Structure 1
Amino acid sequence: MVESDGSPRTPREPITGVILAGGLARRMGRVDKGLQLLDGKPLVQWVAERFAPQVEQLLVNANQNATDYATLGYSVIADLVPGFAGPLAGLHAALAHASHSLVAAVPCDSPFLPADLVARLHTAMVMTGSDVATARTFDQPQPAFCLCRRELLPQLAEFLAGGEHKMALWYRTLRAVHVAFDDEAAAFRNINTSGELARCAHKTK
């Protein structure tokens, strides 16, 4: 693995983005987390408003309530791997549907994600010649925030077929760079429970 500060200096090629909203939200009572309201807007909408300006194509990975997600105006794609296999299955679906050779992913429960996320991941990827760039805040990996090459689809399909579903384990099989976002650590706060959702409400104002 390679460490990098990923400073955003490198001009970049077009990128497909995907919001990962295909989980079961077990810690939130198995509701559809991306559709839960934060100050009157679904979590997924907060994420899309920050993420869409950073990419040329935006997809939403959802395995239920596709019609509701489609109201955002972006293509909705379901996992190609059965059984709610987690964010890695959502990334797999995005690699299969992406129009561009690079794919960036973010979770649907991080409404404050950095506005320079994709630029910094891309810079680190180019500088290091990596297959995938992932975010890190201090000593905490943030594997669901990543940028990877579409050509990794066959490797990822094989990894999932072997019964593995953890993003961090897959990254270990690749040339990966961890990009430090210590200066924006609060932007990676995610919402896993209804209590956290309530506490985050005032932060959007």
Structure 2
Amino acid sequence: MISPEQITGLILAGGRAQRMGGIDKGLIPFNGKPLIASAITRLKSQVGPIFINANRNVTKYASYGFPVIMDETPDFSGPLAGFAAGLKVCNTPYLLTTPCDSPLLPTDLGLKLATEMIRGDFQLVYASSKEADGKIWAQPVFCLMRTDLQESLKTFLQKGDLKIDRWFKELRCSTVVFDDAQVFANVNTPEELKRLEEASA
């Protein structure tokens, strides 16, 4: 069994948020509190240490009491750059990643992904959601990976590839399907924010 103390949590807040007009998504109010606060609240019982990956407003993110790490590439290279930064500072055997803009993220995310990782001796396990129409969608930024993947990811990024699914294909991977798609709902537009607030009220 993998215990929460063996897992480092990484909240990804390093994106550009172009569809939200470029404002920093983790700091957008959700039910009166910044989105990052909801992510921290739901993640902290699932992991030991927590890091926040952010490329701007570092002081504001640091005010939550967790170390803030920046991408090594300065050009908003997507979640894999955040993964790489997280793996570099991770001192536990596992890293659990989640975005800053999914305020309803599952409180059993770590447990379910860890159970699957042990079952099949996988290197990485990511979440998938089952939509109302029965379709299964990959949610690759919600994932649990072994910390020893640092070299694999570094080599992959050095090739200039930033596609998350292509890196996953190089690994022994599995996924866990969550029946409630709402828990992965993220905020890309002001309308989505409003809908999510209403749904969580």
TM-score, normalised to structure 2's length? 0.93
Which residue pairs with 1:130 in the alignment? 122
- 1:11 Cα offset (Å): 4.7
- Report the count of equivalent residues: 195
After superposition, the Cα gap between the structure-2 partners of 1:11 and 1:79, relative to the gap in structure 1 and judged at 3 Å, is closer
Q: Secondary structure at the match of 1:203?
A: helix
Q: Which amino acid aligns with 2:40?
A: A
Deviation at 1:197, TM superposition (A): 1.1
**Where in structure 1 do 4 or more consecutive aligned residues deviate above 4 Å?**
none
Say which SS state the counterpart of residue 74 (structure 1) adopts: coil
Where does residue 3 of structure 1 map in the other structure? none
**How far apart are residue 72 of structure 1 and its match?**
0.9
Q: CA deviation at 1:22?
A: 0.2
Which residue pairs with 2:111 in the alignment?
Answer: 119
Determine the structure 2 residue equivalent to 1:141. 138
Equivalent residues in 2 for 1:1-205, closer than 5 Å: 10-12=1-3, 14-138=6-130, 139-182=136-179, 184-205=180-201
Secondary structure of the equivalent of 1:79?
coil
Q: Counterpart of 2:45 in 1: which secondary structure? A: helix
Distance across 1 between alignment mates of 2:175 and 2:94: 17
| Cα root mean square deviation, aligned | 1.1
| Shift in Å, 1:198 | 1.9
5+ residue gaps, structure 2: 131-135
1:40-73 superposed Cα distances (whole Å, 9 cap, x missing partner):
1110111110011100010000000000001111
The answer to which structure, 1 or 2, has the higher relative contact order (CA under 8 A, 6+ apart) is 1
Structure 1 runs not aligned, ≥5 long: 1-9
TM-score by length of 1: 0.92
Closer, same or farther: CA 68–175 of 1 in aligned 2, 3 Å: same
Distance 1:166 1:33 in 2: 21
Which digits, 9 at most, give the CA deviation of each residue in 1:94-149, with x for residues without a partner?
00011211000001110000010000000000100100000011310000000001
